[in-house]
Amino acid sequence: MRQSYKLIFERSREGRRAYDLPALDVPAVDAVPANMKREGKLDLPEVGEVDLVRHYTNLSRRNFGVDNGFYPLGSCTMKYNPKINEEVASMSENMHPILDEDMAQGSLRLMYDLEGYLCEICGMDAFTLQPAAGAHGELTGLMLIRAYHEKRGDDARKTIIVPDAAHGTNPASAVMAGFKVKEIKSAPDGGVDLDALREAVGPDTAGLMLTNPSTLGLFERNIKQIAAIVHEAGGLLYYDGANLNAIMGIVRPGDMGFDVMHINLHKTFSTPHGGGGPGSGPVGFKKHLEPFMPVPALVEREGMIELDYDRPDSIGKVKSFYGNFGVIVRAYAYIRSLGGAGLREASENAVLNANYIKNALRGVYHIPHDRICMHECIVTPTEEMMEKGVHTTDIAKALIDRGYHPPTIYFPLIVHEAMMIEPTESESRETLDEFIGAMKAIANEALTNPESVHACPKNTPIGRPDETTAARKPIVRYTRPE
C-alpha cells in the first residue's frame, strides 16, 4: 500500500504543543543580554503529542534491517546480530573509561583476550582495538606502514599500490595517510595481474592493499607470489578485512604473507551495522610493526592487564580512550558463543550459501567469473534482458517490491552491471530458495513484461525518484512555503 509521508514541518500548526506547562506564578526575570537573544522566530515544527508519536513511529517502520528480512548486500556482510550480544553488552554499561586500571580489570581482560582471539583467527602477532571503523583501521594500518619505513630511513617509499577492483576506501585511506596511489589492472579472472604488479613495484613501493577473497568474491590463488613480489621489492602487504567472513578458521591473512590488516567487527563479528555506527575496526600486525602501534597497548604483568603508554615509536593515539567498547564486547560475546569450530562453520556456511545462490541463478542470469566463489557471488542481467531495457538497477528496484533489500549494485566497478550477492551464513535454505524464486520471477518478467519491471518499486511511499536531478541539484534543506 502506498502511503504518503509528510515531513513533520508540513504537519506543523501554529500554537500546537506536545506539553502543557502551568502559568508562570513568580516574577519573570530577563537575565539574557539583548545582544545574545535570537531575533525573529525559532522555526520549529509545532505538533500535538499523538501526531509527534505517529510521525516517528511510522518513520521507524520504514527502516529495513536484517531483523526485518533478507539483506544480501555484497561486500558488507549484513549477518544477523544474535541478541545475546546485546544482552552481554548491556552488562558493561556502568563502566567509566577513566576508572583506575585495577578497578577495570574485567573490562581490560575482555579487551586483552579479544585481541588474542583476533590474533589467532588472523595469524597476526598483535592487535589494537582503537580504530572506530573500517576506514579508520585502514588509516591506522597505513600509518604503521609509513612509520615502519621512516624508522628504517627508507624515506623514498611513498607509493601504495591498489588493484582497480579494490574498495574505494583503500586509495582514499592511502592518500589520507600521505601516500601516492598507483592503481593496477586486474587479470581477466578478476585477480591481481602478476605482471602488472611486478611492473608496478620498485624502490618507491610502501605497500600493497588487497582483499582476499577479492572484491569479486573469488579466492586470490596467487597470494603467495603476490606477497613475495611485494616483499622482495621492500614493500609491506595490507589486508583489507572486509571479506574475512569467508575464511575464518580455514586460512589466515598472517599465513598468506600479510603484515598488517584491519577487521570490521560489524561485518565478520556480528556487531550492529549501518545507521552511522558506532563501528569498530581493530588493526592487527606482525611483530615488526608492533613498536609503532597506537598507545596505550594492553599488556599482562603478573596476572594484571595494564595500559602501556611507554612506546617511544608509537604513532600515538588514534581514538579517545580505547575504542568503541560496547562494540568490542559484542564481538567478544560472538566469538565466545561460537568458539573456534563454530567460527569455521560460519565461514563454511557463508561460502556454501553464496555458491548455492550462484548455481541456482546460472542460466537465468549471466555469471561473469563462473568458478567456485567464496562468501559472495556476482551476477549480471543477460544480454536478452538488457535488450529489453532491463538493467541491474531495475532488478534491484523489483526486489524491493518483493520484500528484499537489494544486493550491492554497480560494484565492483570492473564488472559491468554487477549485482553482488552476499547471503551470509545466517540464512536458512528456505530463505535462499525464496530469494532465488524472486530473482527468477524478475528475470522472467524482464523478458515478458519489461514495462512492469521498469515501474518497480510499486509498494514504497515513492517509486522512482529522479536520482539524477537529486544528485545534480540537491535540495538539502526544507524551506517553508511562504
Q: Which residues bind other proteins (CB under 8 A)?
A: 168, 171, 182-183, 368, 393, 409-411, 413, 415-416, 467-468, 471-472
* Residue whose CB is less far from other proteins, 336 or 454: 454
Query: Closest distance between other proteins and the C-beta of residue 181, in Å?
Result: 8
Query: Closest distance between other proteins and the C-beta of residue 296, in Å?
Result: 38
Query: Closest distance between other proteins and the C-beta of residue 180, in Å?
Result: 8
The torsion angles phi and psi of 27, rounded to 5 degrees, stand at -60, 140
H or E stretch at 36:
none
What single string gives the DSSP state of each residue in 383-418?
A: HHHHHTT--HHHHHHHHHHTT----EES-STTSTT-
Question: What does the block give as the cell for 2?
Answer: 502506498
Distance of CA 365 to the CA centre of its chain: 27
* Residue whose CB is less far from other proteins, 186 or 245: 186
* Residue whose CB is less far from other proteins, 127 or 179: 179
CB count in 10 Å sphere of residue 367: 17
DSSP state of 39: P
* Residue whose CB is less far from other proteins, 291 or 368: 368
- For residue 284, which of 53, 127, 155 has the smallest C-alpha distance? 127
Is residue 333 within 8 Å of residue 89, measured between CB atoms? yes
Question: What does the block give as the cell for 206?
Answer: 610502501
Q: What size, in residues, is the chain?
A: 482
* Residue whose CB is less far from other proteins, 95 or 187: 187
Helices (H), 69-133: 83-90, 105-122
* Residue whose CB is less far from other proteins, 98 or 471: 471
CA pair distance 376, 352, nearest whole angstrom: 10
Query: Closest distance between other proteins and the C-beta of residue 326, in Å?
Result: 32
* Residue whose CB is less far from other proteins, 359 or 393: 393
* Residue whose CB is less far from other proteins, 173 or 245: 173
Three-state DSSP at 161 gives strand
Query: Closest distance between other proteins and the C-beta of residue 174, in Å?
Result: 13
Task: Match 560496547 to its residue by C-alpha cell.
Answer: 326
Query: Closest distance between other proteins and the C-beta of residue 161, in Å?
Result: 12
Query: Closest distance between other proteins and the C-beta of residue 27, in Å?
Result: 58
Q: In sequence order, what are the beta bridge partners of 181? A: 160
Query: Closest distance between other proteins and the C-beta of residue 411, in Å?
Result: 7
Query: Closest distance between other proteins and the C-beta of residue 409, in Å?
Result: 8
Question: What does the block give as the cell for 339?
Answer: 568458539
Query: Closest distance between other proteins and the C-beta of residue 83, in Å?
Result: 36
* Residue whose CB is less far from other proteins, 131 or 217: 217
Which residues have a Cβ under 8 Å from the Cβ of 224 and sit 6 or more positions away?
Answer: 256, 257
Three-state DSSP at 307 gives strand
CA distances from 270 to 2, 27, 263, 274 (A): 33, 57, 12, 12
* Residue whose CB is less far from other proteins, 80 or 410: 410
- For residue 223, which of 201, 252, 203 has the smallest C-alpha distance? 252
